[in-house]
Every structure is written in structure tokens, then in C-alpha cells.
Amino acid sequence: MITYRRKLIILPESETAVVLVPVPVPVPEIKVVARELAQSEAAPITLGDVQSTLRAKLNSTNKLKFTGVISSINTMAKVIGCAAHDLPANPAKLKERLATTSPAMAGLTEGSWSSMRSRVLSGLRLTTVKVMAGRRTDPLAPAWHILMALLPKNDGTRPALSRFAGYCTDFKYEPDEINDSHFKRFLSILETESMRGEPRLIHRKAIMAWNWATEAIPEWPKQIIIVPTKKSDGYVLPLSSFSASFQSNVEDHLEYLRDPPEDDDDAPIHGLKETTLNARRFSLLQIASVLACEGIPIATFNSVSDLPTRAHMALVCQFYTKRFLGRENSTQVLTLLEVLRGLAHHQKKDDDLAKAIARRIKKLLGKAGQKRGMTKKNKDRLLPFKNHALVRDFLLLPLALCSRAAKKTPDKLKAAHTMRNAIAMEIELMCPLRSANLANLSVDKNLIAYNQGKQKRYRLYIPAEEVKNDQSISMDLPEQACDLIHRYIKDFRHLLIDSLFLATGPTYLFPTSEGKPMTGKNLAFSICKMLKSELGLEFNIHLFRHVACFLYLKQNPNGYETMRKTLGHKQLTTTINYYAELEQLEAFQNFDETILLLRAGAPHKHQKNVKKPVIPALVFPVEQPVKFDLSFQGVCDVI
């Protein structure tokens, strides 16, 4: 095959010219596998179809590759919990299904997980399914190669544009012709053919990097791309959307709830805390926004007393019934109806309306049943803790993370984040706190340091006014926890704060880069993400309290008073209502053991001279105890 390439020629008159020179180019070899499957055939619908197609094409040349793909499809189906014929042969849809699990949850290493994904994608390509490569191995087109070389290497713009440049190379788009439509099609390809990354985030970052390069690099094409606005399905309007009188009345109402007047017999007995007031402000905005969505003019709301009416109550219920797919008794509805009832009673002084709303709440609660104890989701999330090996790994995880962070690594910030998560989890294991209390812990105020010999020890103290139910928390942290916290404060905590903000304010235990305390939501997200990555657990921060009670009651049946004090419940009935159901698991286990024993032919206690049957015993290997070096001089890996 002969093709022509441009070649620069220097003429005798010192002028330059570009001429076409014939250059022989070898024809690339076509692999046997590609040739066999290049025939026109219908694209597979499921991964089971992919397996069937590959089995039909098996021969001595491709056997090793094809059997590896078939095996990986079986592994993916097992991980997700279905058959191969239940999984679509679509990269984007497979990514959605895999998002609900992780390597740890599947019992796979990171390498095995990556290999499984790669082989399944390879199988899709072999059966004519369009798949966008996550990492490019082929060279870029010359024009794109030159442009990409102009980008800085370490500020993130080059990685942000790399997939777009590869996409343009594949579709033969030149840099000078790029406009908004090319980026829109790039997003479409990401959403339908990619199994890696978040499509909208990749698309948005690519546009922002392109626009930056347009302004910063003279050689870059001067076409500015419109940055897409972030999609949101939120319906709650900001307070500024409403009239000035409504805004003012909302703040007056919150002040009334913060410090109820003593001479008002209808006022609440106790004032609300700041966190509760913020939640109430949001609830008022939710109600007003729902009514606006349902067609009530915003101009009609001049005060919070305009919100509670029978018609408005019906509209709120109607809106959330649609939003929750026909479910009438969602927690959201019950919460907002309770707010409306309070407004009708305290602000509108309409007891008949307040009673009507109360009847609606009672009716909805009657459909749902009086909710007591843990939700079904939290009960399901506790089931893995029946596994003794998982419990051991869970309890040892803070030590393992500290061991990892203590190793010498060039990425000190990452080590500090790892150590922060380890300390947060260690505190939650020893004293299950609510997320807001955990995030706002101060080294000076809440961790009272004292010396025990040569060792630094800490007493955790949180005053009653900072705790949800006005029960103060005071405890001496165990020796191991104190050693970990001392090492974190001494060597890691300052790495989380920018140098400009060091020693400029309170010393929070879990600071942001500006030295302020992390929000409970962000700290909880970081801990739960770590637990899913390390142990494959679907977790929420409040589940630490449930796990603590579950593990303690398993070892100490009827130990409710201890857990009441540990969790800070005012009344023992609260603890019993939440956790008595946990003992049912052990009760059923004991009952089943009795039934199985009788099934095996064990004699009745009144029968005599009956030979007891021999029941084969299951022998399990004895696990060796794990030793830890907590000196941080030669810290060992755990598990």
C-alpha cells in the first residue's frame, strides 16, 4: 500500500515548501479474533448473549482470551447477584449496577476487580458493542498531539482534556472546528458507551479546561464553549424568592421558638436549639415551595400563618405522594404536617385546623404503623455483623489505617486524611457520638489532657447544652485510643490546615483547610466512603450507635441500662424500643439449634435406654490472633 505524507523541503533560494512524498506504509495485521467477529451480526442484548457468541466462536487460537472473558462475565453476575442473562450488554448500565457494590463487598482484590471489568469490556468490543476506552493506548492525531503538549502537566488541565482529545481523534475532528455541538456529542458518548467516571463531571471539566486554554495559550483555538449549569431536581426555593414580609416573619417565628415568651400559655415550654431551628427554617421553605409548585402564588404568603390551611395540607400530601411514587405516609410528609399543625396552633390560633391536621397525621401513622426502633435499611445493614471475621476486621480497622498512615509516604496530606478517618472511627467505637458532636470536637475544650506517668491520656467531655437530648458526655478514653489521638494531634492534624490558618483560632480535632470544623455531613461521608472501600460495608455514621449496641447486647443479654447510659438516652424504654428486636436474632438461632438437634434424632428427656445418635461435627480452622506494634516505630500492617 502506498500513501503520501507531507515533507518539508528547503529550496536553494532559502525558501521552504511543502511537497507530497510517496512513502510506503505497511498494512496493519488484522487479528484472527477481530476478523472472525467482524462479520455482520446482531449486537448482543445481555451478557448471556455475549457468552453465547464467544462460545460459538471458540477455537484453538482465541480459546484462552474468550474463556477468560466468559469467566469474568460469570464473576460479574455473581458479584451483582443475578444471572448473566439479567445483565444488559451496555457499558453505562453495567456501571450503574456495579455502583452498588465494591471490591471488598465482592471479596475481590482491587487487581481482580479491575481485571474483571477490563475483560467484560473486551467481550463487549469483541461482539460489536460500542465501548469508549477509559485509557487511550493509540496515539492522538498530530494536531491534537501538538495542542496537548502545550498544556501544563501538573494542574489538571491535561487529564481533563485527554479523553476529549482521544474522542476527537477517533471521529477525525480537527481542533479548529470544535464548538458546543462536539462537546454535546462527547457527553452523549460518555453516557452510553463509557464504564469509567462520572460523564457529566468529565464533560464539565473538559469544557472548563478548554476555555482556560483558550485564554491562556495563544496557539489554542479561540472558540469559547458554554459551560453547562449543574442539574438539580431540587424544588425548594431560597428564602429571598418570597416577599420581604414573609422573610421577616419567618425569622420572627424562629426567634419565638428559640426563646418562647413566658406569658404566652400556648407557647412551647422549652426553646429549640440552633440545629433544630435551622431544620425548622428549611421545613418552612419546603412547605412554601411545595405550595408554589402546586400553583399557589408566592405573593399570597405574607407570614407563616398563611401556610396552614386544609387545602394546603391536601396539596402537601398530594405533592409528596407523587414524589415518593404513591407512598402516602413518608417521613417527609409526617414531618411537614407536624410543622403545619404547630403553626395552626401557635401562630394561627386555630385549634380546629390543628386537630384536623393531627387527625391526618394519625391516619397516615395508622397506615404505616407506629414506627419504633430501627428502620428496615439499618436492620439490613447490621446483618453482616453476624460474621465474626467481619466484626474483627471492623474493630481493628482504625489500627490498620494508623499503621498505613504512619509509613513514610510522599503524599503526607493523604496520610493525614487516612489518620483523620482512623481517629474518627476509633472515637465512634469507644464512645458512639452523633455526627455533629463528633465533627465539632475541640482539642482544647472537649479533650481534657492529663498525664498518667509518662503517657498522655484524654478525657472526652461534651457539655449537656451541646448534646441533642441535654445529657452531658464524660468518659476516659482507653489507652489505645489515647495513643492514637496523641500521635494524630502531634504529627498529622496540622497537615490538614493551610499554613495561613495555622494557630489562628480554636484547635478543632477534625479541621478543614481553613482551620474550621468539618461539617458532620462531610466527616460522615469521608468515614462511610472509607468503610465501603476497606470492608465493603454500606454504612451511615449513626450506624455506629446501632453496631455498638448490637455487639454489646450479643455478649451481654439484657444489658440495656449500660447501653442507655452509653448512648445517652433519657429513658430506658427508648433503648429497649430500638434494640430489643436485636435479641430476636439470637433467640431464633438458639431455637433453630434445638430443632436441628431433634431432627437428627436426639432422644426425648423422658425416654430411657435410647442410644444417642452421633451427629457429625463441623470443624472450623482456628484463627490465629493478630499482634500489633503500636509504637509507630515499626508499625505492622493489619489483616
- Residue 304 CA to residue 253 CA, distance in Å, equals 8
- Residue 344 CA to residue 481 CA, distance in Å, equals 50
Residue 355 three-state SS: helix
Q: What is the pLDDT of residues 44-85, one digit of tens each?
A: 889 999 999 999 988 888 888 899 999 999 999 998 888 989
- pLDDT for residue 625 is more than 80: no
Q: Are 424 and 438 in contact (CB under 8 A)?
A: yes
- Residue 354 CA to residue 349 CA, distance in Å, equals 9
CATH number of 380-578: 1.10.443.10
Q: What is the pLDDT of residues 240-266, one digit of tens each?
A: 889 999 999 999 999 988 888 877 776
Question: Of the given ranges (297-311, 418-432, 449-463, 617-631), which has the lowest mean pLDDT?
Answer: 617-631
DSSP secondary structure string for all residues of 273-340: PHHHHHHHHHHHHHHHHHHHHTT--GGG-SSGGGS--HHHHHHHHHHHHHHTTT-SS-HHHHHHHHHH
What number is the average pLDDT over the span 494-521? 88
Greater confidence, 632 or 395?
395
Phi, psi dihedral angles at 505 (to 5 degrees): -170, -165
Residue 131 three-state SS: coil
Q: What is the pLDDT of residues 327-368, one digit of tens each?
A: 787 888 989 999 999 999 888 889 999 999 999 998 887 754
Q: Are 468 and 462 in contact (CB under 8 A)?
A: no
Helix axes 47-56, 63-80, angle to 10 degrees: 160
Return the number of other C-beta atoms located less than 10 Å from residue 28's C-beta. Answer: 7
What number is the average pLDDT over the span 210-219? 92
Q: Are 197 and 132 in contact (CB under 8 A)?
A: no
Residue 317: C-alpha distances to residues 8, 288, 432, 439 (Å):
75, 13, 36, 35
Q: Are 51 and 119 in contact (CB under 8 A)?
A: no
- Residue 602 CA to residue 16 CA, distance in Å, equals 102
Q: What is the pLDDT of residues 314-330, one digit of tens each?
A: 999 999 888 877 778 78
Phi, psi dihedral angles at 295 (to 5 degrees): 105, 0
Task: Output the pTM of the full model.
Answer: 0.63
* Residue 7: band (very low, low, confident or very high) from pLDDT cuts 50, 70, 90: very low
Q: Are 116 and 76 in contact (CB under 8 A)?
A: yes
Residue 127: C-alpha distances to residues 41, 44, 193 (Å):
8, 7, 14
Q: What is the pLDDT of residues 96-107, one digit of tens each?
A: 888 777 787 777
Q: Are 214 and 222 in contact (CB under 8 A)?
A: yes
- pLDDT for residue 421 is more than 70: yes
In terms of phi and psi (left: phi > 0; alpha: psi -120 to 50; beta: otherwise), the region of 392 is alpha
Q: Are 433 and 511 in contact (CB under 8 A)?
A: no
Q: What is the pLDDT of residues 107-128, one digit of tens each?
A: 788 889 889 998 999 899 888 8
What number is the average pLDDT over the span 175-199? 89
- Residue 541 CA to residue 530 CA, distance in Å, equals 12
Phi, psi dihedral angles at 508 (to 5 degrees): -75, 145
- Grid coordinates standing for 92? 453505562
* Residue 585: band (very low, low, confident or very high) from pLDDT cuts 50, 70, 90: low
The structural domains of the chain, with segments of one domain joined by +, span: 36-126, 142-216, 239-368, 380-578
Q: What is the pLDDT of residues 513-546, one digit of tens each?
A: 988 999 999 999 999 999 988 888 888 898 998 8
What integer pLDDT is reported at residue 142 of this predicted model?
92
